[in-house]
């Protein structure tokens, strides 16, 4: 188990961060909020989760231990793998998810790309009393609401087969008026129209 990775940020784009850890350059798949908090040349320490599959090893990186813990617990839900767990954390913070589970807020959970009503119901059922209590931090809540829809849309495009670079470019090209409405809506932003708008941008390229 690799608990954390510490080094200099070589690249940070969409859902990928490359860390120079000395003799190696380590690529980590991260939630968009984690990527947005990093710049080239930064010295960073990311808490990691290693997923081993037949087709390869993937290291996921998170800005804090809580995000990593929630990422791993979400994967214990029937039918939920790392891709969906990461998309969920791209849409809401760990505490947002705790509150959604505690209040049985299926709609909030369904905003994550790849999660339908049955998936949201399973998450609520199987994670009740397993995520711990939610805390409230006004500054982090404000930052999360501003970044949430960007990460959700980018994660949705990547899950549909687009590259992280193309997904990031398409999100940036979304109509400013639509983007402003989504940002103002915060955690209540409807990801569906935003995803369609981003796909239209990709179709034009």
> Where along the chain do the CATH 1.10.8 domains lie?
146-204
| CATH number for the domain formed by residue range(s) 146-204 | 1.10.8
pLDDT at residue 43 in the model:
94
pLDDT at residue 75 in the model:
95
d(CA 38, CA 63): 10
What are residue 66's phi and psi, to 5 degrees?
-60, -45
Query: With the CA atoms of 82, 187, 69 and 119 taken in that order, what torsion angle do they form, in degrees rounded to the nearest 10?
Result: -50
pLDDT at residue 11 in the model:
92
Adjacent-strand bridge partners of 52: 57
Contact 196, 156 (CB under 8 A): no
pLDDT at residue 154 in the model:
76
pLDDT at residue 187 in the model:
61
In CATH terms, the superfamily for domain 4-62 is: Nucleic acid-binding proteins (2.40.50.140)
> Where along the chain do the CATH 1.10.150.20 domains lie?
68-127
Tell which phi-psi region holds residue 87, choosing left (phi > 0), alpha (psi between -120 and 50) or beta: alpha
Contact 155, 90 (CB under 8 A): yes
Q: What is the largest CA-CA distance in the chain?
A: 47
pLDDT at 144 over 50: no
Determine the number of helices (DSSP H) and then strands (DSSP E) in the chain: 10, 5
Read off the pLDDT of each residue in 111-121 and give the average, rounded to a whole number.
91
Residues 6+ apart with CB under 8 A from 152: 87, 90, 91, 111, 112, 113, 191, 194
CATH architecture of the region 68-127: Orthogonal Bundle (1.10)
Residues 61-99 have pLDDT tens digits of 999 999 999 999 999 999 999 999 999 998 888 988 998
Residues 150-191 have pLDDT tens digits of 777 877 777 667 777 788 888 889 988 888 888 777 666 777
Helices 191-204/176-185 angle, 10° precision? 160
> Where along the chain do the CATH 2.40.50.140 domains lie?
4-62
* DSSP-derived 3-state class of residue 48: strand
């Amino acid at each position: 188990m690799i608990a954390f990775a510490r080094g200099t940020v070589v690249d940070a784009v969409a859902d990928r961060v490359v860390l120079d850890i000395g003799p190696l350059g380590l690529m980590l798949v991260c939630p968009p909020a984690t990527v947005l908090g990093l710049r080239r040349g930064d010295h960073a320490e990311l808490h990691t989760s290693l997923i081993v599959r037949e087709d390869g090893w993937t290291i996921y990186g998170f800005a804090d231990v809580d995000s990593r813990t929630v990422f791993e617990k979400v994967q214990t839900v029937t039918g939920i793998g790392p891709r969906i767990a990461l998309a969920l954390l791209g849409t809401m913070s760990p505490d947002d998810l705790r509150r959604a589970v505690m209040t049985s807020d299926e709609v909030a959970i369904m905003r994550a790309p790849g999660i339908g009503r049955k998936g949201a119901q399973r998450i609520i059922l199987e994670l009740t009393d397993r995520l711990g209590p939610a805390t409230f931090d006004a500054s982090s809540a404000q930052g999360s609401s501003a970044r949430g829809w960007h990460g959700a849309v980018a994660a949705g495009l990547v899950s549909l087969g687009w590259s992280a670079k193309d997904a990031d470019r398409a999100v940036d090209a979304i109509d400013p008026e639509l983007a402003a409405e989504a940002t103002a809506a915060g955690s209540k932003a409807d990801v569906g129209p935003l995803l369609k708008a981003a796909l239209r941008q990709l179709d034009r390229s």
